[in-house]
Structure 1
Amino acid sequence: MYRTASILYQRVNAQCSLCDLNQAPRSSDSSIAEHAGINEKALLRKLDYRLLPPLTVLYLLSFLDRSNVGNARLEGMGTDLDMSGDQYLTGLTLYFIGYVLFEVPCNIVLKKTTPRAWLPTLTLVWGIVATLCGVVQSYAGFLISRLALGIAESGLFPGVVFYLSMWYKRNEQHYRVALFFSAASLAGAFGGILAWGIAHMRGVGGYNGWRWIFILEGLLTIIMSLAAYFCVHNYPATATFLTAAERKHIQARLSHDSDATRHEHFSWPAVGHAFRDPKVWLYGLAFHTLSLPLYTLSLFMPTIIATLGYTAAQAQLLTVPPYAVAFLLTLLAAVFSERTRRRAPFILAGTALAGVGYILLLSDPRPGVSYVGTILAAAGIYPAVAIVLAWPANNVSGQTKRAIANALQISIGNLGAVLGTQLYRTETKPRYFLGHGFALGYLVGNLAVVTALWGVLRRENRIKASLRASQGGGGVVVVGEFGEDEAFLGDEDPRWVFQT
């Protein structure tokens, strides 16, 4: 999967030659040239192959372990636990309540500890919880397991987004975050196939097929978490897979572009600064208006397809094409967003495409047309979400503020998922007008929020350009080599240009 994505990226990268008004000045080339003998493209490939595969696998497992409940429902979980459709929705809601409440605390722990210790430990804990989901015997056990799973998984995504911002230049981060997030759509595709296969184990050990879905996928997560202790690295300054010259080169290239090389300790005033910045809340709203359609689609897609007239086994397999299309478009959108150094236009395009999908679901009851609607919905939502989640990592500085902003964005965003889990109620099937209508309304809201945020960022860039000009700073300047003792105002500094 990762090799295919890299080939795609290199081909499009070679074909694109687009201007960027926010590009960092080439004055940094003199410093980069000091590290003669370092092939920068080869070094980036080395970072990608060492950092991204383990992180992508962890998120694939995370999304698989949270969304396989939809597959388990089709295989008789509700009947075995004597659980009504609305009670099932309550379990989904509890997952996201735990997820929302613990994201910011988890990123505080990450900032105080290390990625190598924290990220695999989170994975181990949720792997154990996911496995135990397969042996619950009552509705109460189902509720407890979903809440615990949400708490355990809450720290992975915001933690990884912050982690990648400490390794890559700002414009390089988006493609990596998008590749990492594409594991969500890949998990959806694999989840349908795995659930279809595992469901054939019904009766083994006296367990129904849905129990084996949880048990086997949870055990896989536990195994991968143990491997992650050896595969996840900390930060560039201590990475053992790099030579001393490569570490120095990475420090030099980051020092011209971001705050990643500054020695910033955790501070509570920086936490407060993140909460007071209106742009941080706009990033959160941008994800909030996408998370409801994102998670309702991933959690209810098997059910939605089954109500079109397909059997449970057919519905499991028919979830694969929408996710496969979403995976490819997520990578393509990431490549072109990085090459053009634009974020908002690609988000708006993805949101509009998803809106068309929901219009089809709402307006035409024919199974074939509705199924095309699910494909378009997934094909638009996943690329848009990937870009939205990378946006604050590109634009927020310093380090503590960015760590909190990443977590706060996902906390605010997943409040949409909390609401969404209550919308696809049993009494509204088979057309699910309530759920589809809310999803479409949220997508319209996303168009408004992203357009507003785009305008705010462009306005602040114009103000900063005027300040630089008045101070004799000349044209476009992003970030210079800020000394440790030099006054640097983070993303409020006139030299910090927002990516729009």
Structure 2
Amino acid sequence: MAIFGEKGRASDSDGYPDPKVGDYPTGNGYDEDLPVQCPAHTTERKLVARIDMRVIPCLCVMYLLAFLDRVNIANANVYGLSTELKLKGNQYNTALVIFFVPYILFEIPSNILLKRFKPHIWLPINMFMFGFCSIMQGVVKNYSSLLAVRFFLGLFETGMFPGAFYLIGMWYRRHEAQKRYSFFFSSTTLAGAFGGLLAAAIGKMKGVGGYAGWRWIFILEGLLTVVVAVAFFFCIPSFPEQAKWLREDEKAYIAARLRADQGRSAVERQITLKDVGNVFKDYKVIVAGFMYFGLIVPAYGYAYFAPGIIKTYGYGAIETQLHSVPPWAAAFAMAMLTATLSDATKIRFPFAVFNICVAITGFGILIAVHHNKHLQYAALFLVAMGAYSAMPIIVCWFNMNLGGHHRRAVGAAWQVGFGNIGGIIAVFAFLAKDAPKYVTGYSICLAFTALSILACCVYGIACWSANRRRDKMPADLGLTEYEKTEMGDMNPSYRYLL
């Protein structure tokens, strides 16, 4: 409900006045006519709630299914994938790593195409195709066909994560974003939990239709993705300026509140190769890639190998699947708690570092303790909670500090694309010969989490330094609105979240 601030002007119930130049000390000082308040028929809270219901659920379901189709190979392996396909040595690890080759290379092109073709077209097409690839994993006959299918799975999944993060960032103000980012990102933890439960049930279909249980995991979960992809062609939202479910005055207000917080978005302009090059002139963009890179190694290490690790504790196949669920559930709760606190305090750095330290504690226990399965299992909780709570904070922190469509599209794709190189390291960190202690894998993960903390410190100092330097600059540098828009967050009026 709208209330009146001390100046008699409408403000929303979270204490933030309706957009007006000068209201946001972390904004961009754009001198242009902005709507002073919400359209008369609604309030800001109601409008944001409508956005939440249209934007977040679709993207969460989309990424839940994408992550499920990506990591369900770990559940399938517990039921005998490697045995039936006669995989030898590190061939299983190679099948995991081939996914990341196209996934890394096509992140930036995918986000450029997302902007060109609109999200409600580009995302469902890719979703349909990776669902089809998941089904094909269920009918492969040998190692080479598994590699081929995993390659195309990576190709079609490449735009899901950065595209969704980019899209969310174009709907919300920065102090509103972390809860939405974390809820979306926590689709991965829900997928992990959901995947374990599904695998426990589907695995019992062994022999149905002449297929092994592990094949049905791929077939049924892939079929679900294909069906949902068709429905999502009509459901996934586009950018605010293109939303047909909003009135024109609502679109104008949403654009105004975002401009007051982040500056003009330049949605109307196509992204060029020059734009891509200019983004990488900012060293903070490079550092942000390492923040995410350091966490991808433990995150994928856990996602791909937790079922196998839990199996070494002496559990059967179904018990293993069921024991893989609680750590994912705990990670979801942790992510939402820290996201809520981060939005409330409007800071990111300490929460990112704290969560990474939780993961480091878990890896420390796993390296040191080898004969207490209950303590080892508890350490897996810490690993999942720490890594999967820190990652959305890091990605949100960087994405929402980028101003404008072109910088955010390129920057978001770079961070995710470069970061996923860590997935290649993760899948070769845990080798069969190192079971059941996996000291090498845990040590590698520990080192990369430390790298992530270091990168967070460098990025935080860089943002603080830029804010301090800009505070000392003259308020009016004579920049035109076009120049401010082109500069995005490099505009001297822009202030970064810390």
Equivalent in the alignment of 2:10: none
Aligned residues between the structures: 477
For the Cα contact (< 8 Å) 1:274–1:402, is it kept in 2?
A: no
Equivalent in the alignment of 2:231: 227
* Matching of residue 191 in structure 1 with residue 195 in structure 2: yes
CA distance in 2 between partners of 1:187 and 1:358 (Å): 22
Equivalent in the alignment of 2:465: 459
* Matching of residue 297 in structure 1 with residue 295 in structure 2: no
* Matching of residue 119 in structure 1 with residue 123 in structure 2: yes
CA distance in 2 between partners of 1:176 and 1:215 (Å): 31
Task: Identify which of 354, 357, 363 aligns with 1:352.
Answer: 357
Q: 1:364 to 1:305 in 2, by over 3 A?
A: same
Task: Identify which of 399, 402, 426 aligns with 1:396.
Answer: 402
For the Cα contact (< 8 Å) 1:111–1:400, is it kept in 2?
A: no
For the Cα contact (< 8 Å) 1:171–1:394, is it kept in 2?
A: no
Task: Identify which of 322, 337, 340 aligns with 2:327.
Answer: 322
For the Cα contact (< 8 Å) 1:22–1:499, is it kept in 2?
A: no
**Structure 2 counterparts to residues 131-210 of structure 1, below 5 A:** 131-210=135-214
Return the offset for 1:109: 1.0
For the Cα contact (< 8 Å) 1:330–1:383, is it kept in 2?
A: yes
**Structure 2 counterparts to residues 259-408 of structure 1, below 5 A:** 259=263, 261-262=265-266, 263-365=268-370, 366-408=372-414
Equivalent in the alignment of 1:9: none
CA distance in 1 between partners of 2:33 and 2:446 (Å): 47
Equivalent in the alignment of 1:106: 110
Return the offset for 1:485: 7.3
Equivalent in the alignment of 1:4: none
Return the offset for 1:236: 1.7
CA distance in 2 between partners of 1:143 and 1:453 (Å): 37
Equivalent in the alignment of 2:4: none
For the Cα contact (< 8 Å) 1:32–1:253, is it kept in 2?
A: no
For the Cα contact (< 8 Å) 2:196–2:325, is it kept in 1?
A: yes
Three-state SS of the structure 2 residue aligned to 1:119 is helix
Per the normalisation by structure 2, the TM-score is 0.91
Between 1:374-383 and 1:247-256, the stretch displaced more is 247-256
Return the offset for 1:275: 2.2
For the Cα contact (< 8 Å) 1:81–1:139, is it kept in 2?
A: yes
| Aligned-partner residue type, residue 202 of structure 1 | K
Three-state SS of the structure 1 residue aligned to 2:280 is helix
Return the offset for 1:201: 0.2
Equivalent in the alignment of 2:259: 255
| Aligned-partner residue type, residue 389 of structure 1 | V
Cα deviation 1:356-391 (Å, max 9, x = unaligned)? 011111111210000000001001111100111112
Return the offset for 1:318: 0.5
Three-state SS of the structure 1 residue aligned to 2:495 is coil
CA distance in 1 between partners of 2:330 and 2:484 (Å): 48
Task: Identify which of 214, 221, 246 aligns with 2:218.
Answer: 214
CA distance in 1 between partners of 2:32 and 2:368 (Å): 55
Per the normalisation by structure 1, the TM-score is 0.91
CA distance in 2 between partners of 1:413 and 1:54 (Å): 25
* Matching of residue 442 in structure 1 with residue 440 in structure 2: no
Structure 2 portions without partners, runs of 5+: 1-12, 16-22
Between 1:485-494 and 1:317-326, the stretch displaced more is 485-494
Equivalent in the alignment of 2:19: none
Between 1:21-30 and 1:168-177, the stretch displaced more is 21-30
CA distance in 2 between partners of 1:154 and 1:489 (Å): 27
Q: 1:30 to 1:38 in 2, by over 3 A?
A: farther
CA distance in 1 between partners of 2:24 and 2:37 (Å): 24
* Matching of residue 59 in structure 1 with residue 63 in structure 2: yes
| Percent of aligned pairs with the same amino acid | 36
Return the offset for 1:339: 1.4
For the Cα contact (< 8 Å) 1:468–1:494, is it kept in 2?
A: no
Equivalent in the alignment of 2:487: 489
CA distance in 1 between partners of 2:34 and 2:256 (Å): 11
